[in-house]
Amino acid sequence: MASLVSENVKVAFASIKSQALRTVLTIVIIAFGIMALVAILSLIDIIKSSINSNFSNLGANTFTIRNRETSVKIGRGGKKPKKYRSISYEEAMKFKKDFNFPATVSVSTMASFSAKLSYGSKKSNPNIQVFGSDENYILASGYELEDGRNFSETEIISGTPLVVIGQEIKTTFFNEGESPVNKTLRIGSGKYKIIGVLKAKGSSMGFGGDKICVIPIQNARQYFSVPNATFTINVLCNNIQQMNIAIGEATGIFRQIRGVELPEGDNFEISKSDSIANMLNDKLHLFNLGATVLGFIILLGSAVGLMNIMLVSVTERTKEIGIRKALGATQKTIRNQFLMESIVICLLGGVFGILFGIIIGNGLSLGVFKIGFYMPWHWIGGGVAMCVFVGTISGIIPARRAARLDPIESLRYE
């Protein structure tokens, strides 16, 4: 059996060489379809992994209270998220005081979404996020200190011009091995003393990340004040088993603080740390489906092209088929020979497509999204299986036609 398969493979390669141009064009079409499928689906898997990794840094025992509904909208579809009245500083601080639960509560606000930093002659692009926070922000947001220290309560209350910087700020302004601590960094027009550096967290897809500065919340209120500013409350539960209890108690307390009457719905949103990740992953399933449909359409086109080549091959090799039958080849042998030839062509296209798909997917991952290398083993296996399937489907009709040729008529062909 093994020798028969080996012989069919040798005959298939010999046939491919004899009609190289048509075969190469078909292989390219198949490779393009597999390449698009593997590259897109691999990249989607990489993005999913990155999203889950980024949000898991917040911890499964964290939830957030904000004045807008958590929603992910892609394109024109989807429901527009609700936005409630802003959460005032007084409301947030009252919650922090009244929430007597075994948990860490942090109050923060977005001071600037596009701040410009400078240190000496070096300047950054105006795309740095500046957060005003209390002393618990670093812990509740899943960050860790690499160097220096956190704010003290006194510094938070007095609004001392101090800053804790993200890892990307450090690499932008300071040389390798140089400590930024106790250096003065200019944020906008204000000067801030660096007291700490955050460990690298990653900033793929724009969530969390290392391109941030954290300043005392009172300083943010004084120098980055905006009309109708809103504040965010992060709660880190000491015990993950008590998350639902903590969310229920937080809801009741904050409804009282916001003056929500019993029949009315909440005018704020409480979301767990992984809720956005789950919504994003749900949206990415649409891209998975679209990429799969696109790949199948391309493979369908290549299957038609391959079938056409195989039918032409049967016509051109009619005399050869007659000679093989005259020497004792059965219909099954002839059929298997042409089926193997079709499968080999598809597998050649699949190998090149998978190879280039991995290169393109990981090239985009490393170059654009700054995510690590990923080997999509399941998509590689799926690509090979699809190639065998397409090759079999494309070769059935030509193989049956070749097997049914009359040997006498075949020998007289031409």
| Residue-wise pLDDT tens digits, 333-368 | 888 887 888 888 888 888 888 888 888 877 776 766
Average pLDDT in the chain: 81
Q: What phi, psi does 48 have (nearest 5°)? A: -60, -45
Task: Tell me the two tokens of residue 115.
Answer: 């701040």
CB 187 within 8 A of CB 220: no
Vertex 217: Cα angle to 128 and 179 (nearest 5): 55
- In percent, the amount of the chain with pLDDT more than 90 equals 30
Radius of gyration from C-alpha coordinates of the chain: 32
Report the pLDDT value the prediction gives residue 21, as an integer from 0 to 100: 75
Query: Domain segments of the chain: what residues?
Result: 2-53+279-411, 62-273
> Taking the model in full, what pTM does it have?
0.59
Average pLDDT over residues 250-260: 92
Bridge partners (DSSP) listed for residue 109: 132
Q: Measuring CA to CA, which residue among 339, 318, 355 is closest to residue 398?
A: 339
Confidence tier at 204 by pLDDT (50, 70, 90): very low
Each residue of 9-64: pLDDT tens digit?
776 677 667 677 777 877 887 888 788 777 777 777 777 666 655 555 555 678 89
Each residue of 152-163: pLDDT tens digit?
999 999 999 999
CB 119 within 8 A of CB 128: no
Task: Tell me the two tokens of residue 316.
Answer: 């051109």
Report the pLDDT value the prediction gives residue 58, as an integer from 0 to 100: 55
Report the pLDDT value the prediction gives residue 276, as an integer from 0 to 100: 59
CB 134 within 8 A of CB 214: no
- In percent, the amount of the chain with pLDDT more than 70 equals 81
Which range (92-101, 170-179, 284-293) has the least confidence? 284-293
Task: Tell me the two tokens of residue 369.
Answer: 């999204």
Q: What phi, psi does 236 have (nearest 5°)? A: -110, 110
| Residue 196 neighbours by CB under 8 Å, 6+ apart | 145, 147, 148, 149, 150, 164, 165, 181
Confidence tier at 205 by pLDDT (50, 70, 90): very low
CB 221 within 8 A of CB 159: yes
Report the pLDDT value the prediction gives residue 256, as an integer from 0 to 100: 93
pLDDT at 119 over 70: yes
Report the pLDDT value the prediction gives residue 392, as an integer from 0 to 100: 83
| Residue 128 neighbours by CB under 8 Å, 6+ apart | 112, 114, 115, 116, 117, 169, 187, 211, 212, 213
